[in-house]
Structures are given as C-alpha cells and as structure tokens.
Amino acid sequence: MAVGIFDSGLGGLTVLDAVAKRLPDVPFVYFGDNKHAPYGVRDADDVYDLTTAAVSRLWDEGCDLVILACNTASAAALRRMQESWIPSDKRVLGVFVPLIEALTERQWGDNSPPREVAVKHVALFATPATVRSRAFQRELAFRAIGVDVEAQACGGLVDAIEEGDMILAEALVRSHVDALKRKMPEPQAAILGCTHYPLMQDAFQAALGPEVTVYSQANLVAESLADYLERHPGMLGQGDKTRFLTTGNPRKVSDQATHFLRRQVEFESA
C-alpha cells in the first residue's frame, strides 16, 4: 500500500514529512535522484528521461501512485508523461495542482470556465527550468482570468539549501525577492514553486512583507493526497514499508537528509 514520492534531490522530503504526518498509516517510498540534481538547470528532454526512469523504479517498488515532489519535473515532464507514457493502472500526480486549487479556491475537477479570483498579482519563485516551462501560468489560465503572474528564477538557491548553507540561502532569497519586486512592486501572493523552498518560507515572508500571502506546497500537497486517496483507495500499491532510495552516495545523502529534516534518515542505493 506504499505511495511513491520522487524528487531530484532533498527538497521532496518537505512533502514527504507533511504527507507522512497527515497519513501516518501509509508507507512511502522516497526516491531522490541526487546523482543528477539539480533538475532546474536541465532541458526538458533530459528532465523527462530522468523522471520516467525514477517513476519506473518506484513502480518496481509497488507504488502504483507516484507524487512528483519536484516542480521542475511536474512542469517539464508530467503533461508529456500523462499523454503518452503512463499505463492506465498507474497514476503520477504533480505538485502544481494543490497550489492552483488553493490560489483559485476551486477543486481540480471543476471544469467550469475560468473566472475572476480575488488575487490579481502573483509572484512565482521557482527554478530556471520551471520558469522557462510557463507550466504554472498555463494551468492557472485554465481556471482564472485577470491574474498577473511575475516569475523569478531563483538561481543558486537549491544548491545552497542542499549544502546546508543557510546564510547564503537567506541572502539569495533577499536578492531574488528584490529582483521580483523591481518587476512587480506590490504582489498580493507569492508561490514558492520548489519543494526546497518551504525551508526558507520565513525568509521569503520577511523579504516580501506581512501583507503578502505566501503559499508553500508541503501541507497543501498532503491535504490533496489525503483527499485523492479517500476517493481512489485502489491506488494504494503493494509496498508495505517506508524506504528511502537514492542514485547518489547513500551515506552522504543520509547525512544531508538527516540534517535537512533534523531526524535520522537512512537512504539505500537505488
């Protein structure tokens, strides 16, 4: 009954932590493609090939349902995967869905025409690949009208977080927020469009100011997954225990993950 969670590195652990707390009886298999991280600087074909390989590995672990806890993979690969690659008995879900549900205050299955929403000016902070894909803007346009989205590629931030250099990470957050505000001086809401960024949510909030609503993904994804599994209980796979897999050095990744989550985590070679 395991659910797979995939990320290019450690950022997806923020999602894993939230969904494990929300669904304590569900085992999860986490796959980190640390060998090839970060994905945010790769082209779309490369991201697609790496993502499909990782998802296939999670299917081998008995995970019929896989969450792409990676915005770059969700933006650059998921639509193509859903159109031509995923078999009918499997599901792969991305992390944009819960964000757009929260921002537009409508359920994903609501196929009514796009309508006006309360928030008109949205700042999107994401990796360069996610920004290039314009996937967030495309999905939002299906559901809302009159929303201005200004995207800021946050180069270097994922690397700083993965290395545990929080001083550099905070400096980069301030720099990227300053750059965004030069383009959009008064955003009403901000989307942290990378699963690493929840660790820096306080820094983003401080730089943006208290009047800006900051949307982070982990808890939104946890609630969305709980709702999905309630409606589709048959998508729980055959796996029966929580495991952590990596394409990188298991000892190094375990040490980084333990520091990242502030609890002991043991990775195995994928």
Check whether residue 123 and residue 210 sit in a common domain: yes
Check whether residue 236 and residue 197 sit in a common domain: no
Closest CA relative to residue 110, chosen from 122, 97, 128: 97
Domain boundary among 202, 217, 232: 217
d(CA 97, CA 140): 9
Check whether residue 203 and residue 105 sit in a common domain: yes
Q: Where are the beta strands (DSSP E) in 53-169?
A: 65-68, 91-93, 115-116, 121-126, 144-145, 148-153
Check whether residue 251 and residue 202 sit in a common domain: no
Q: Residue 255 belongs to a domain with what CATH number?
A: 3.40.50.1860
Check whether residue 113 and residue 175 sit in a common domain: yes
Check whether residue 8 and residue 86 sit in a common domain: yes
* Two tokens, residue 5: 């969670």
Check whether residue 50 and residue 74 sit in a common domain: yes
Is 154 a residue of the active site? no
Check whether residue 210 and residue 112 sit in a common domain: yes
Q: How many domains does the chain have?
A: 2
Binding site for substrate: which residues? 7-8, 39-40, 71-72, 195-196
Grouped pLDDT means (10 residues each) for the chain, 270 residues: 91 93 94 92 93 96 94 91 94 88 76 87 93 89 91 93 91 98 97 90 97 90 90 82 95 91 92
For 24-72, the three-class secondary structure string (H helix, E strand, C coil) is: CCCCEEEEECHHHCCCCCCCHHHHHHHHHHHHHHHHHCCCCEEEECCHH
Say if residues 222 and 215 touch (Cβ distance below 8 Å).
no
Check whether residue 123 and residue 208 sit in a common domain: yes
Check whether residue 109 and residue 175 sit in a common domain: yes
Check whether residue 67 and residue 149 sit in a common domain: no
Binding site: which residues? 7-8, 39-40, 71-72, 195-196
Is 63 a residue of the active site? no
pLDDT of amino acid 61: 92
d(CA 48, CA 50): 6
Determine which one of 20, 194, 199, 225 is catalytic. Answer: 194
d(CA 68, CA 223): 15
pLDDT of amino acid 109: 63
Domain boundary among 174, 198, 217: 217
Range of the structural domain that residue 168 is part of: 97-217
Determine which one of 65, 67, 70, 161 is catalytic. Answer: 70
Check whether residue 70 and residue 121 sit in a common domain: no
For residue 174, the surrounding DSSP H or E stretch is helix 166-183
Domain boundary among 217, 242, 261: 217
